[in-house]
Amino acid sequence: MPQLDPALILYVLIGYFLVLFGISIYTSRKANNNSFYLGNHQSPWYILVYGLIGTSISGISLLSVTGKVMSSSFGYMQTALGFAFGYFVIAYVLLPIYYRYNVTSIYQYLNLRYGKSSQVSGSILFLVSRSMGAAIRLSLMAVILHNFVFSKLSAEFPFWLTVLIILTMIYLYTFKGGIKTIIWTDTIQTTLLLLTVVVSFVMVKNLIHEGWGDITSTLYHSKITDFFPNGFLGKNSFVELFVSGVFLTVGMTGLDQAMMQRSLSARNLKDAQKNLLTFSWVIVLVNFMLLCIGALLSYYFAKNNLPLGKTDNMFFEVATHSFGVVAGIIFILGFAASTFSSSDDAMTAITTSFAVDFLKWDDSKPEWKRKLLHAFVALFLFVLIVTVCAGMQGAAIDNVLLVASYTYAPLLGMFFFGIITRKKVNDAYVAIIAVLTPLATVAVNIGLGMNYVKENMDKLPDDFFSYNLFNRIMLYVSKGNGNITIVYSAAFCALLLYFASLLSSQELE
């Protein structure tokens, strides 16, 4: 089949952006600050749940989850099942609280429960996590587009310009309408993502040139479709991955302003709950489809003795070189859509959180100030991608979950200690604990990770000692307690809050 011409890929992306820009112009008519933050509370629940697919299944999931099959078989499904259970916790525990207090930023709850310093510290944790998460997602897209498109068109095309182009495109279709626009652009982006998954599944199967029976038998006997590669108990076992999946979902969705901003734009609590409960089974189904594609890709590479590069690039390379023009274009659109969908709401939510939690802005502030702040957020992401994220090692999905484990853990401790107990804690102590928890967790896991490195020198990548300091730290913390870090860290935060509450014998009235 003919390869996709880099110029054609570029034209497709430009055309796609123009469609999104046109939608933003239409949906942002008469838009104000409340439209940007909460969509005027007029978002239909079925539109929210459909758009949530594109937001949660980002470009990282499309490329990185499929690539993870190479190293962990279908083990990721154990985490995905934990995701599904986590949505029930969000729907029935967190959403009622957010609607009861009528919050714009979910971290306003921390102000109501503990005080202003707690709200600021919670927002800081979100900003760090969401900024890093969005930067990692966008850096994956930027690296791939730069390597497969822009550098092919011009060998001297700088990487930073690729990043700038992507961020400018996202800014232009979100700066006015915000969440009101994103709710509707995500319906298109989700449609393209789902179409990409289905088309890719069929195309990769056709590349193998075997019947389903032969393919299924080969994959089964190769153990690549094993759902429990590490058993039920122990390191990376079912229990560990499932529990960490629950905690990650509650943290990355229920305590994430970007994700909750969508649910808060629903017409009422009941509609917001329908959104999440419906999505809880959709996330399992879509992840299963991605893993099936990953298994087919693994078989295709093995059957044809193709060299394996970085697993994040595997899917993109096959799609652009072997799918043909039509299917290849669909894949490019799906990849762009999934990355844009998970990044545009991040930029909007970071802007919202900074405006409400730090600057204490309300809907009466001049819109030009909010638009300028939105531009500064885009600029900050640009610097983060170019200086830190573009050179990160390992699978992108692992890096996103790793960052989330450290930043959302204290939020889990702060929120659920406040929800479950009536104990009063000094506001200043809460803020200190919010900062101390991830720092202590990182320090412990660096120690455990360095010990692992010493004992497993033969298993390290050949170029390990050429890694920069940031990448070495990321490797150390990932080799500490791995997926279960968020559970231990959240429990540590709650324990510190309990001890802090002992300094005050009072309880909330």
Q: What is the DSSP secondary structure assignment for residue 423, as one 8-state letter?
A: B
For helices 257-264 and 45-56, the axis angle rounded to 10 degrees is 160
Domains identified in the chain, total number: 1
Extract the tokens encoding 64. Answer: 């990185």
**DSSP secondary structure string, 174-228?**
HTTTTHHHHHHHHHHHHHHHHHHHHHHHHHHHHHHT--HHHHHHHHHHTTTT-S-
For helices 325-353 and 179-208, the axis angle rounded to 10 degrees is 150
Is 505 in a helix, a strand, or coil?
coil
Which CATH number does the domain housing residue 128 bear?
1.20.1730.10
Examine residue 482 and state whether it is found in any structural domain, yes or no: no
Task: Count CB neighbours of 444 within 10 A.
Answer: 17
Residue type, 389: C
Examine residue 74 and state whether it is found in any structural domain, yes or no: yes
Write down the pLDDT at residue 45: 63
Extract the tokens encoding 446. Answer: 């660096």
* Residue (of 481, 432, 422, 49) closest to 253 by Cα position: 49
Examine residue 245 and state whether it is found in any structural domain, yes or no: yes
Q: Which residues, 6 or more positions from 355, have their beta carbon under 8 angstroms from its beta carbon? A: 361, 365, 370, 373
Q: Name the CA radius of gyration of the chain, rounded.
A: 22
Classify each residue of 254-268 as buried b or exposed e, where b means 16 or more C-beta atoms within 10 Å of its C-beta: bbbbbbbbbbbbbee
Write down the pLDDT at residue 413: 93
Write down the pLDDT at residue 65: 72
Examine residue 273 and state whether it is found in any structural domain, yes or no: yes
CA angle (343 as vertex; 342, 349 as ends), nearest 5: 100
Per-residue tens of pLDDT for the chain, all 509 residues: 556 788 888 888 888 888 877 877 776 666 555 545 554 555 666 676 676 676 666 666 777 777 767 766 777 888 888 988 999 999 999 999 999 988 878 889 999 999 999 988 988 888 888 888 888 878 877 887 888 788 888 778 888 898 888 888 888 877 665 566 666 777 777 788 888 888 888 888 888 888 888 888 887 777 777 777 666 776 667 888 888 889 988 988 889 877 787 777 777 888 888 888 888 888 888 888 888 888 888 888 878 777 665 666 677 778 877 888 888 888 888 877 777 766 777 777 778 777 777 777 766 667 778 778 888 888 888 888 888 776 666 666 777 778 888 888 999 999 999 999 988 899 999 999 998 998 998 888 888 888 877 777 776 666 666 666 777 777 777 776 766 888 889 999 999 999 998 886 666 55
| DSSP-assigned beta bridge partners for residue 423 | 507
Q: Which residues, 6 or more positions from 146, have their beta carbon under 8 angstroms from its beta carbon? A: 157, 159, 162
Instruction: In whole angstroms, give the CA distance from residue 339 to residue 189.
Output: 9
Contact 482, 235 (CB under 8 A): yes
Classify each residue of 175-202 as buried b or exposed e, where b means 16 or more C-beta atoms within 10 Å of its C-beta: bbbbbbbbbbbbbbbbbbbbebbebbee
Examine residue 324 and state whether it is found in any structural domain, yes or no: yes
Q: What is the largest CA-CA distance in the chain?
A: 73
Classify each residue of 391-428 as buried b or exposed e, where b means 16 or more C-beta atoms within 10 Å of its C-beta: ebbbbbbbbbbbbbbbbbbbbbbbbbbbeeeebbbbbe
Write down the pLDDT at residue 411: 93
**DSSP secondary structure string, 234-284?**
STT-HHHHHHHHHHHHIIIIIT-HHHHHHHHTBSSHHHHHHHHHHHHHHHH
Examine residue 239 and state whether it is found in any structural domain, yes or no: yes
**DSSP secondary structure string, 338-390?**
HHHHHHHHHHHHHHHHIIIIIS---TTS-HHHHHHHHHHHHHHHHHHHHHTGG
Task: Count CB neighbours of 92 within 10 A.
Answer: 12
Instruction: In whole angstroms, give the CA distance from residue 145 to residue 152.
Output: 10
- Residue 461 exposed, middle or buried by CB count within 10 Å (0-12, 13-18, 19+): exposed
Is 330 in a helix, a strand, or coil?
helix
Examine residue 200 and state whether it is found in any structural domain, yes or no: yes
Examine residue 111 and state whether it is found in any structural domain, yes or no: yes
* Residue (of 403, 399, 388) closest to 489 by Cα position: 403
Write down the pLDDT at residue 197: 84
Residue 263 belongs to domain spanning: 6-25+32-390
| DSSP-assigned beta bridge partners for residue 507 | 423
Residue type, 179: I
Look-up: residue for tokens 């009528």? 102
Instruction: In whole angstroms, give the CA distance from residue 416 to residue 412.
Output: 6
Q: What is the DSSP secondary structure assignment for residue 105, as one 8-state letter?
A: S
Q: What is the DSSP secondary structure assignment for residue 306, as one 8-state letter?
A: P
